[in-house]
């Protein structure tokens, strides 16, 4: 079992509490749709890893009437990066030891008019300590009202905090969530940030604000769209869009690579993939 200092413990506890509140909010939406769907939780650990990598996490998964597949994972892990991979991680080039804790969420919705969504926030420690993360909206059928509401929530989360540079983080998301081989964006964007280091307290406060903003805005968007009638053409558009989403996560996403390189739980790492998708 890895030992946590005060900052690491506080970050882990926050991510776990945010997971619990998000899962409760999503289950409440399912009940509004006359569904008894609920999250199942699968713990995993690496404490017996022969390479000395410790920690683990909990994978939360729900398949319901509104949320066709949604995963909410929290992991807290430590160990050492491989020498080659360490060169690509902030502060790990000279010492490959690391600690990481964070929450990662992806929701694929049953109704094509309800946007898919991704959110994650994390705290990492190498020879340096920093927060990273973001949230982005991924609608198969975009609505300007939803896009504006999501971006307004992210902007409001950023503005009170010195670390929260919304114009920069929005542009960073637009650049990051780009599928180069398709020459299209994965969705309508949001914010993306990394290497927010320095004073722990204000940076932690900013990270919490992003989580709170997501918890407020996304359920509101879901409720706005989940009763919209959908045609077979709408569903076909959603399945084709999901193919693009899967391509990004398998080919481009840094989080997927980080999880695989650090010996994370494969099911938790790949929970972002949609349950059904089409190509061609």
pLDDT per residue as tens digits for the range 54-113 = 788 999 999 999 999 999 999 999 988 777 787 878 877 778 889 999 999 999 999 999
- C-beta of residue 92 within 8 angstroms of C-beta of residue 111: no
CATH number of the CATH domain containing 39: 3.40.1500.10
What length is written for the chain?
Answer: 280
Is the confidence at residue 152, as pLDDT, over 90?
yes
- Nearest by Cα to 116 from 144, 136, 143, 145: 136
Q: Which long-range contacts (CB under 8 A, 24 or more apart) does 253-260 make?
A: 255/104, 255/120, 258/100
What pTM, to 2 d.p., does this model score?
Answer: 0.92
- Percent of the chain at pLDDT > 90 equals 80
The domain in which residue 195 lies consists of: 6-272
Would 98 be classed as within a structural domain?
yes
Catalytic residue of the set 113, 118, 151, 185: 118
E strand intervals along 63-140: 67-80, 97-109, 116-125, 129-138
Q: CA dihedral in degrees (66, 70, 74, 79; nearest 10)?
A: 180
Is the confidence at residue 132, as pLDDT, over 80?
yes
The total of structural domains in the chain comes to: 1
Is the confidence at residue 261, as pLDDT, over 90?
no
- Percent of the chain at pLDDT > 70 equals 96
Q: For this structure, is 118 an active site residue?
A: yes
Average pLDDT of the segment spanning 6-11: 97
- CA–CA distance, 15 with 103 (Å, rounded to integer): 6
- CA–CA distance, 117 with 132 (Å, rounded to integer): 17
pLDDT value of position 80: 85
Would 1 be classed as within a structural domain?
no
Give the confidence band of 193 by pLDDT, cuts at 50, 70, 90.
Answer: very high
Is the confidence at residue 49, as pLDDT, over 60?
no
Would 227 be classed as within a structural domain?
yes
The three-point CA angle 107-242-148 to 5° equals: 60
Would 120 be classed as within a structural domain?
yes
Q: Using CB atoms within 10 A of its CB, is residue 39 exposed (0-12), middle (13-18) or buried (19+)?
A: buried
- Nearest by Cα to 81 from 125, 143, 47: 125
Would 278 be classed as within a structural domain?
no
Is the confidence at residue 52, as pLDDT, over 50?
no
Q: CA dihedral in degrees (44, 48, 52, 55; nearest 10)?
A: 30
Would 202 be classed as within a structural domain?
yes
- CA–CA distance, 171 with 189 (Å, rounded to integer): 9
pLDDT value of position 113: 98
Query: In the 8-state DSSP scheme, what is residue 43?
Result: E
Would 279 be classed as within a structural domain?
no
Give the confidence band of 53 by pLDDT, cuts at 50, 70, 90.
Answer: low
- CA–CA distance, 261 with 72 (Å, rounded to integer): 20
Average pLDDT of the segment spanning 247-261: 86
Q: Using CB atoms within 10 A of its CB, is residue 148 exposed (0-12), middle (13-18) or buried (19+)?
A: exposed
- CA–CA distance, 211 with 215 (Å, rounded to integer): 6
- CA–CA distance, 190 with 169 (Å, rounded to integer): 8
DSSP lists the bridge partners of residue 62 as 70
pLDDT per residue as tens digits for the range 218-235 = 999 999 999 999 999 999
Give the confidence band of 269 by pLDDT, cuts at 50, 70, 90.
Answer: confident
pLDDT value of position 47: 61
């Amino acid at each position: 079992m890895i030992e946590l200092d005060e900052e690491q413990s506080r970050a882990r506890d926050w991510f776990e509490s945010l997971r619990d509140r998000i899962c409760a909010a999503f289950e409440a939406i399912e009940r509004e749709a006359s569904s008894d769907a609920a999250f199942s939780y699968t713990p995993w650990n690496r404490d017996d890893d022969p390479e000395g990598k410790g920690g683990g996490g909990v994978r939360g998964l729900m398949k319901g009437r509104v949320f066709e597949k949604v995963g909410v994972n929290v992991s807290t892990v430590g160990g050492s990066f491989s020498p080659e991979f360490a060169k690509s991680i902030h502060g790990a080039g000279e010492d490959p030891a690391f600690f990481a804790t964070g929450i990662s969420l992806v929701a694929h919705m049953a109704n094509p008019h309800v946007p898919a969504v991704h959110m994650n926030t994390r705290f990492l420690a190498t020879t340096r300590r920093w927060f990273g993360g973001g949230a982005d909206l991924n609608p198969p059928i975009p609505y300007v009202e939803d896009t504006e509401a999501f971006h307004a929530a992210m902007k409001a989360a950023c503005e009170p905090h010195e670390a929260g540079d919304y114009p920069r983080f929005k542009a960073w998301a637009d650049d990051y969530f780009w599928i180069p081989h398709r020459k299209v964006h994965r969705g309508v964007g949001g914010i993306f940030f990394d290497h927010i280091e320095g004073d722990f307290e204000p940076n932690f406060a900013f990270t919490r604000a992003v989580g709170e903003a997501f918890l407020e805005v996304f359920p509101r968007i879901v409720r706005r769209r989940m009763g919209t009638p959908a045609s077979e053409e709408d569903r076909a558009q959603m399945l084709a869009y999901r193919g693009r989403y899967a391509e990004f996560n398998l080919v481009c996403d840094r989080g997927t690579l980080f999880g695989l390189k650090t010996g994370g739980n494969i099911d938790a790492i790949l929970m972002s993939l949609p349950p059904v998708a089409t190509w061609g």
